[in-house]
Amino acid sequence: MTALKTTVIGGGAWGTALACASRRAGSDVILWARNTQVVEDINEGRGNPLYLPETRLDAGICATGDMKEALAAAEVILLVVPSQHMRKVAEEMAPYVAGKAIALCCKGVEQATGALMHEVAQEVMPEAHIAILSGPTFASEVAIGLPTAVTVASRHEASRELIMKAVAAPTFRPYPTDDLVGAEIGGAVKNVLAIACGIVTGRELGENARAALVTRGLAEVMRLGEKLGAKSETLMSLCGLGDLALTCNSPQSRNMSFGIELGKGRSVETILAERRAVTEGVWSATSVTDLARRLDVDMPICEAVNRIVTDGADIGETIRQLLNRPFHGKI
């Protein structure tokens, strides 16, 4: 049987991990990275020490910095770049992707437009078949083959099946849906909520507070999803509740660990300056709350996080304001 040709666009930790998963599924894998050091390290057998240190990569994973070369023979494309850079990268890809299956593996809402990632992709690459791959995933665990399950969402059944084939293995299980909006909303909002959970942990407010925050955060996810037409069962699945549970309960999450440092009193600028990888929740805080305001959806936790990370609001006072909200509304 001829191996499926899969291209991963993005040389960060998650892109590299998905290259590992796709290779484990039997695909021929090319990884495109803008960073020339990443390309050299992978092709010379050193793995990706910049973004995924101490993880050995299969020798069959090849890297390139040439977009045309990366996409020329691709049957499946996994687009794995930070959400606020997705439009620019998609514009570079557009001449080479007509008729191809593209899974968006980034989580966020575009700040400039309030568009979801699949809306951006469909605008920029109208001749491609767009899908979403999302779920509760830590890159380091996926890279070494620990058991993982994800959602693959697409309205184009043949492309959805092809993407699932490109990554499916005994320890990497994709589950299908046609609900693109539902598959995206959970992933975008949970990064903001994870910062809030980190703040709770950093300020030692206790497990009760964090459990309450996760529960009320899920209500915010559900309200926004309902407004946008998402299916409730999607939001309660891997790409919604599952992703929220993982990201809000482990300091391994970049967003939760960022919140922990904020809770300890460190500044946004100082924390971000120490990081190589993008902390998506910092940027999604603004775009998610802007979207919620435009749609008249009540999302007080996301609003609070945005005030802290974007406007420099005092954490203690922001928490007091949340705790003094009226006692009403649904659970």
pLDDT in tens, 139-165: 999 999 999 999 999 999 999 999 999
Same domain, 207 and 149: no
For residue 65, give the CATH number of its domain.
3.40.50.720
Residue 330, domain member (yes or no): no
Over 80: is that where the pLDDT of 331 sits? Answer: no
Domain that holds residue 33: 5-178
User: Residues with Cβ < 8 Å from 247, sequence gap 6 or more?
Assistant: 136, 190, 191, 193, 194, 253, 255, 256
Among 136, 163, 178, give the residue marking a domain's end: 178
The torsion angles phi and psi of 30, rounded to 5 degrees, stand at -115, 135
**Which residues are identified as catalytic?**
190
pLDDT digits (tens, 9 = 90+) for 63-82: 999 999 999 999 999 999 99
**This prediction's pTM:** 0.94
- Neighbour order of strands in the sheet with 129-134: 61-64, 28-32, 5-9, 76-79, 101-104, 129-134, 148-153, 172-177
- From first CA to last CA, the distance across the chain in angstroms is 52
Contact yes or no for 108/283 (Cβ under 8 A):
yes
Q: Do 210 and 106 share a structural domain?
A: no
Going by pLDDT thresholds of 50, 70 and 90, the confidence category of residue 330 is low
Give backbone dihedrals phi and psi of 98, rounded to 5 degrees, phi first.
-55, 130
**CATH number of the domain that residue 227 is part of:** 1.10.1040.10
Q: How many domains does the chain have?
A: 2
Q: Are 16 and 31 in contact (CB under 8 A)?
A: yes
Last residue of one domain, picked from the residues 157, 178, 199 = 178
Distance CA 256, CA 259 (A): 5
Q: For 82-100, what is each residue's pLDDT tens digit?
A: 999 999 999 999 999 999 9
Examine residue 145 and state whether it is found in any structural domain, yes or no: yes
